[in-house]
Structures are given as structure tokens and as C-alpha cells.
Amino acid sequence: MEKSKELIYGLNDRPPLQETLFAAVQHLLAIFVAIITPPLIISSALKFDLETTGFLVSMSLFVSGIATFIQCRRFGPVGAGLLCIQGTSFSFISPIIGAGMLGMVNGKVNVEQALAYIFGACMVAAVVEMVVSRILPYMRKIVTPLVSGIVVTLIGMCLVKAGINSCGGGQSAMDGGTFGSMQNLGLALLVLICIIFFNRSNNRFLRMASIVLGLIIGCVVAYFMGMIDFSQLNGAGSINVPVPFKYGLNFDVGSIIGLGLIYLVTAVEAYGDITANSLISGEPVDGPVFMKRAQGGILADGFNSFLAAVFNSFPNSIFAQNNGMIQLTGVASRYVGYFIAGALVLLGLFPVVGQFFSLIPDCVLGGATLLMFGTVAAAGIRIIASHDINRKAVLVMAISFAIGLSVEMVPDILSQMPEVIRNIFSSGITAGGLTAILANAFIRIKE
């Protein structure tokens, strides 16, 4: 396929070192906050200490680097062979927190036990996405744009709850009686306004770095308010040695099924991201070459999430925002991905990096995540809007959103159910997603 006229460097071109580094830095600005945010939210919800939180952030960076290299380089059937950047996925946050709650001992979360349940479920459920990559043409008939749009919208809606909790100060503020204070809400609002201000700028660099700049301003203000204590940093000069299965593995059927559904939807999302990436990169978007890339990319998505669980990190997925970065820079060279991968691995090896970002106050992080989660919900609505919204579609949406949000808002509705049922349907994403698949398959209406 003829290289796109908008591209400066195509897929297999090797840009000069200076231009390669410049493009790599721009991609890093677009993804860095998105990679570290899920472990920060999960750690806050489960009350992990600073050292554990810092380690999980570091491992997220480390694994994202390895995953990105696998996607860009392609090893046999594994990898898309495109400039696909991978990072920790927001989609799994809610069911992961649910799995972590299984580690509750005497009213308090046991760190090792909680993480063992999380990584055990993430590892086993990752097989779902790997299987989907082999039967991709058939799965697209089951998980239609309507179904995937409903699930993505539910992911955003359910995560807004976590975002607003962070704005109020998180679990530590709840325990300390300061939740929802003017100080916390004011800081969250400041960060939110700053991100919107920079994002609407005509300067492309300010737009790309809007979330980073918003967090920096929030952290500076929080520091002068005495909310950040750098004396807690104790990782300077040391190196993180990745230890496979550091926390062990525990397995819970309900958690595995719940996460498996998210992997199913993630596979469909990955297909869309790879299609967009191929199109922007001037590569085929149909035919055997494209299908080989799509199947390899989805297989790598699942394999990298499996690998993430081995190295004590959370599931990975292809980041859609980097497709926009390729379009913006005109650089589609997969060799740029090697530099991005190397930088992420290096950042993950230094504990001080993870610990530094773990010091970000919940309210500062909440101001950014609230907008990010709202954007996820908006993306889901866009997917739904691409589908013909007929009577059947309205019914499928109505019952899926009703069941998904009901479980999220009134979790006690499942209190009389068997434990396995509670674990599977405790997440609104899982409950609504399964409802969407079944309703879409069985509801028949003659127009």
C-alpha cells in the first residue's frame, strides 16, 4: 500500500536519532500518566502502603516497556509489528479491586493475599484474549460495536465513582474524617481546570502534556500546603529487581470470570486500535497481511497481560491515544517504539520513580482521573453511536445499563446470593457486559 502523504517516516523507516528521540518523548508524555494511574487508584482503594504502591507503579512501567517492545518488534505470531504502545489498562480497575477485597482479613486487606488473588485471576483470564486472537473473525459477530460500546461506557461510568472518591481525598481522608473537605475538592478542581485549559490550547505540545502539567501544578500547590512529604522517599540509589510471582498466586472462579469478560472486550478494542494504527501508518486495513497483524497484536495483548501478572503488574492493553500521536508527528516508524520501550523499562527499574509518584495526593490525582474516566465513557457513547440505534439496540442498552449501574449503586442487592455469584456480578462492568452479550444475542425484533 502506498505510504500516506501525511507521513514523514513510514513503518519500517529509521529516522535519525534526534528525530527518533523527539518522537519517543512525545509518545511518553501521552502515556506516562495513563500507565501509573491504575496502580495508584488500586493501591489507594485497597490501602496499600507507600512501598508496595511504589513497587506496583515501577512494575507497571517495567512491564509496559517489555509489552511495547513485543508489539513493535513482533516475535513469530506474537505482536502487531506496528508502532503500538502498550500500558496498564483502566478497564480492569473495578474487577481488580473486587478481587483484592478477597484478601480481607479481620476487616483489613492483607497485601500479599490481595495481590495473590489479583495476579492469579489476571493470569488465568488473560488466556481468554489469547484464544480470541485465534478465532477473531467469529468473535466479532458476538462482541458487536453495540456490545463493546456499552461495556466501554460502563467502564467509564463505574470508574467515575473511583475518580470522585479520589477528589474527596480517598480512603485515607475517609479514615481521617477530612473526606470532601474544601482543601481536597479545591485542589481537585484546580487540577481539572488546568488540564482543560492546556488541552484547549492551540499549542500541540501543551495539549499533549495537559494532564502532566495539570498534575505538576496540583502537586506544587499540594507541597506548599504540606500535603506531600518527600522524606518518605527511601529508594534513591537502589534498583528494583523484578521478581516473578513475588506475592504468590491465589485463584477465585468469580474473579477470573469477571476479568475474562473484560479481556474479551479488550480484544475487540485492540482490533479497532490496530485497524486505526494501520490506516494512519499507510498500511493495509484488510486482507491477509492486516489479519495477521491484528491477530498477532491481540495475541500479544493477552500474552503481555499474562506476563504482567508474572511480574506483579496489572493487565496491559494497546493505547489508542498513541494513534493520534502518530498522526500528529507524522512518524509511524516502529523503531521509535524500541526507544519508548527502553525508557519505560529503565524508569521501572528505579524504586524512587514509583515512590515519587505514589506521593501524589489522592485529590490531585482525582482531578485528572475524573476527566479521564469521563472521556472513557464518552468514547463508549461514540462507539454506540456508530451502530444503528433501532428498537433492539435501545432495549439492549436499557437492560444492560440498568443491571450494570444497579449493581454498582446498590451492591447489597447481591448479599443473599452464593459467593461465586457475588464475585462474578459484584462489578457493574461485568454484570452489564454479560447482559449486553446475552441480550444482543437473544433479543429478536421484527422491524
Q: Is residue 397 part of a domain?
A: no
Q: Is residue 100 part of a domain?
A: yes
When mean pLDDT is compared across 148-152, 246-250, 338-342, the lowest value belongs to 148-152
For residue 348, pLDDT beyond 60 = yes
Q: Is residue 5 part of a domain?
A: no
- pLDDT, greater one: 379 or 366: 366
Residue 151: domain span: 17-385
- pLDDT, greater one: 75 or 373: 75
Question: Taking all residues of the chain, what is their mean pLDDT, rounded to a whole number?
Answer: 86
For residue 361, pLDDT beyond 60 = yes
Closest CA to 329 of 25, 17, 12, 71: 25
When mean pLDDT is compared across 18-22, 36-40, 355-359, the lowest value belongs to 355-359
Counting residues of the chain whose pLDDT is more than 90, the rounded percentage is 38
For residue 447, pLDDT beyond 80 = no
Q: Is residue 122 part of a domain?
A: yes
Q: Looking at residues 302-307, what average pLDDT do you find?
A: 96
Confidence band of 345 (pLDDT split at 50, 70, 90) = very high
Q: Is residue 144 part of a domain?
A: yes
Q: Is residue 411 part of a domain?
A: no
Q: Is residue 412 part of a domain?
A: no
Please report the pLDDT score of residue 266 as a whole number. Answer: 86
Q: Would you call 242 helix, strand, or coil by DSSP? A: coil
Please report the pLDDT score of residue 397 as a whole number. Answer: 94
Q: What would the pLDDT profile of 397-428 be if each residue is shown by its tens digit?
A: 999 999 999 988 888 888 888 877 877 787 78
Q: Is residue 240 part of a domain?
A: yes
For residue 101, pLDDT beyond 80 = yes
The secondary structure of the chain, three-state, reads CCCCCCCCECCCCCCCHHHHHHHHHHHHHHHHHHHHHHHHHHHHHCCCCHHHHHHHHHHHHHHHHHHHHHHHHCECCECCCCCCCEEECHHHHHHHHHHHHHHEECCEECHHHHHHHHHHHHHHHHHHHHHHHHCHHHHHHHCCHHHHHHHHHHHHHHHHHHHHHHHCCHHHHHHHCCCCCHHHHHHHHHHHHHHHHHHCCCCHHHHHCHHHHHHHHHHHHHHHCCCCCHHHCCCCCCCCCCCCCCCCCCCCHHHHHHHHHHHHHHHHHHHHHHHHHHHHCCCCCCHHHHHHHHHHHHHHHHHHHHHHHHCCCCCEEECCHHHHHHHHHCECCHHHHHHHHHHHHHHHHCHHHHHHHHCCCHHHHHHHHHHHHHHHHHHHHHHHHCCCCCHHHHHHHHHHHHHHHHHHHCHHHHCCCCHHHHHHHCCHHHHHHHHHHHHHHHCCCCC
Number of domains in the chain: 1
